[in-house]
Structure 1
Amino acid sequence: MAEELFKQIESMGILPVIKLNDAKDAVPLAKALCEGGLPCAEVTFRTDAAKDSIAAMTEAFPDMLVGAGTVLNAEQVDEAVAAGAKFIVSPGLNPDTVKYCVDKEIPILPGCANPSDIEQAIKYGLKVGKFFPAEAAGGLKAIKAMSAPYSQMRFMPTGGINPSNVSDYLAEDFILACGGTWMVPSAEIEAGNFDKIKELTEEAVRSMLGFRLAHVGINCFNEVEAHKVADAFDGMFGFAPNENPSSIFSAGYVETMKSPFLGKKGHIAIATYSVERAKAYLERKGVGFNEDSIVYRPNGKIQAVYMAEEVGGFAIHLVRKPKEV
């Protein structure tokens, strides 16, 4: 149960951390998050409205991944689960609370800010912990240092995560996902500006995925024609050709196919930091994929995958590209 839930959180990439003072805001906020591309939330137990907010969100959006945060004891665990919370997040590692959740098979991400916390988490059979407050506690450098001797553990950093650093965190395999508040500012919630929250959520997702044009593919009938096309791009723009058995890349911008490939007119490659998260995000928007087209890296991560449908006569595929520094 916990393993599958953590896979879902990982596919989201960002877990919005929400503080609600009034349960009436729960449903419109959940709607904004779902429509913005993040159908998930950690509702903190720092207000009296938390329990009712979780209940309202899970009733209105049963497929939404809703958990309870800032949970400090077993009583709050019971309240949260009764309200519909699918997982528990705590700022620190309270052995009593962790054991209570483990015994009841309730997924929990306890705060693990130092090696002692991590060893306690491992003792209880946990494989994921929250790192809080992330930036104040040393950020990515600190997590990387701690993860070296504890390779079985993964982390969800929360606190100080924002659009400028979220993709740096998510680029590391020991990061499951990031908790963040920047797409759900309290002022916008209290003002009822849920369209703004939807917009901020969309921006957060695009910042995380880093969508950009990688290259355009041109279908040629044969190798002779492909060389003519590649030579034209080289002669006009100085796009030096780089030949491989099936195609010629012109400075990485244009791929000229030596024989007709997917797409009536050719193909368009869209780069992203994570093909897995981008694929999951687009599937939630109703986009289908050709599963037989998946190309894996040696480490098991997806390098590329084609969408099932063409767009404007072009086949579209996602391709993994690291963040440019």
Structure 2
Amino acid sequence: MHEALFEQIHKIGLVPVVKIDDASKAVGLAKAMVKGGLPCAEVTFRTAAAEEAIKQITSAVPEMLVGAGTVINLDFAKKAVAAGAKFIVSPGFNPSVVDWCLENNIPIVPGVCTPSDIEAGLSRGLSTLKFFPAEVSGGVDMLKNLAGPFPNLMFMPTGGISPANLASYAKQSNVLAVGGSWMVKPELIEAEDWDTISNLCSEAVVALQGLEFAHLGINNENAAEAEKTIAALQAFGMVKKVGNSSTFLNTTIEVLPKMYYGRLGHLGFKCFDIERTLAYLGRHGFTVNEETITRDAKGKIKVCYIKQEFSGFAVHLVKA
């Protein structure tokens, strides 16, 4: 149920938690976030402006995926949905809110921090839960431990997450998306500092990917030419490791005994989540070469190439 919406949230990867006091600033905020590459927000019912802010954003910025947060009672849930919220998030597990959302086919991500909370969600058929407050409830170590007894469950950790620990959460396989507020601080919204918000969103989106140069791949006409290249690199003290179809030198240079993708070779990049990174790169004009996709046992992409090449090199993504 609601797979398409949760997949959209997963590809965005970061759900800014918005506390807004003046609904007249909501549209400017949403446009700044979209400009920064974060077309998603959880507008919290911590202020009286939440309902009107959701209305204005959904009307004026339709490309924005807007949810409602801090939905602690049924009244808030009904107001949020009437205002146009596409999903509901709550800090705890309120059975009346959860059951009402399920009965009305509204995506709901209730907060949990114990196995008992999780089992209450599982008993209602939920597969995505909010882990809150994340840092003080065990953080990444807790998520790792929960992956054992609940292998098919996904979490949206929120609470205490910042640029300093974003990567540790983003790389977890049971994290659907991360919740945070550092890029949409109330004082920035109040000052209508849209440029700063856009820049913070852009920085967060890049950090979320975990992109890191992994290796250089060198194409060769044949095996004999490849051996010459390998011998030359060994003269520089590099240690070779022979694989099934190529040879690595110090893990950073891959020598191929054939002409493969890229006129000269390829640039390999590691990332936390290839599906998410492909969505991010798509906004920059890159597209995946479908023929090169390799998946793991759960159907997640492990390896792929990008169609576009530059300076004679193809681009290769590898899951970190």
Q: TM-score, normalised by structure 2?
A: 0.93
1:260 pairs with 2:253: no
Distance 2:170 2:260 in 1: 33
Aligned to 1:314: 313
Distance 2:268 2:26 in 1: 38
Residue 45 of structure 1: CA displacement?
Answer: 1.1
> Which deviates more from structure 2 when the two are superposed, residues 303-312 or residues 96-105?
303-312
RMSD: 1.8
Residue in 2 that maps onto 1:302: 301
Name whichever of 149-158 and 201-210 sits farther off.
149-158
Alignment check: 8 A CA contact 1:44 1:50 kept: yes
Aligned structure 1 segments of 4 or more residues deviating by more than 6 angstroms: none
Residue pair 1:163, 1:208 contacting (<8 A) in 2 also: no
Residue in 1 that maps onto 2:180: 180
**Alignment of 1:115 onto 2:103:** no
Q: Using the alignment, how far apart are the partners of 1:285 and 1:66 within structure 2?
A: 23
Aligned partners of 1:100, 1:298: CA distance in 2, in Å? 35
Q: Give the match for residue 161 of structure 1.
A: 161
Matched residue, 1:247: 246
User: Does 1:85 find its partner at 2:75?
Assistant: no
Gaps of 5+ in 2: none
Between 46-55 and 136-145, report the one with greater CA deviation.
136-145
After alignment, is 162-171 or 83-92 more displaced?
Answer: 162-171
Report the alpha carbon displacement of residue 8 of structure 1 after superposing the two structures with TM.
1.6
For 1:2, the equivalent position in structure 2 comes to: 2
Aligned equivalents of 1:272, 1:141: Cα separation in 2: 21
Residue in structure 1 matched with residue 291 of structure 2 by the alignment: 292
- Paired residue secondary structure (1:310): strand
Structure 1 CA distance for aligned equivalents of residues 140 and 218 of structure 2 = 41
CA distance in 1 between partners of 2:219 and 2:119 (Å): 55
The AA in structure 2 aligned to 1:282 is L
Which runs of no fewer than 5 residues in structure 1 stay unpaired?
A: none
The equivalent of 1:11 in structure 2 is 11
Give 1:244 deviation, angstroms: 2.7
Identity among equivalent pairs (%): 47
Distance 1:149 1:220, change over 3 A: closer
What is the CA-CA distance between 1:222 and the residue it aligns to?
1.1
The 5 A counterparts of 1:98-137 are: 98-137=98-137
Q: Distance in 1 between matches of 2:239 and 2:163?
A: 35
C-alpha distance in structure 2 between counterparts of 1:40 and 1:288, whole Å: 22
Distance 1:313 1:24, change over 3 A: farther
> Residue 110 of structure 1 contacts residue 130 of structure 1 at CA under 8 Å; is this kept in 2?
yes
Q: Secondary structure at the match of 1:136?
A: helix
Offset at residue 285 of structure 1 (A): 3.3
Count of paired positions: 320
Matched, 1:214 2:214: yes
Secondary structure of the 1:208 match is helix
User: What CA deviation, in whole Å up to 9, does each residue of 1:30-88 have, x standing for no partner?
Assistant: 22222222211101011122122112222233232210001122222222112221100
Deviation of residue 104 (structure 1)?
0.1
Change in Cα spacing, 1:320 to 1:142, as seen in structure 2 (3 Å) is closer
User: Is the partner of 1:308 in helix, strand or coil?
Assistant: strand
Map of 1:275 onto structure 2:
274
- Contact (CA 8 Å) 1:72, 1:90: kept in 2 or not? yes
| Structure 1 residue 115, shift from structure 2 partner | 2.7
Residue 75 to residue 294, structure 1, CA distance change in 2 (3 Å): same
Change (3 A) 1:319 1:153: closer
Question: What TM-score, normalized by structure 1, do the two folds share?
Answer: 0.92
* Cα distance, 1:245 vs structure 2: 4.0
Q: Following the alignment from structure 1 to structure 2, what is the Cα–Cα distance between the partners of residues 87 and 107?
A: 5
Shift of 1:102: 0.6
**Cα distance in 1, alignment partners of residues 258 and 21 from structure 2:** 61
- Contact 1:67/1:85 (<8 A) preserved: yes
Query: How far 1:299 sits from its partner (Å)?
Result: 4.0
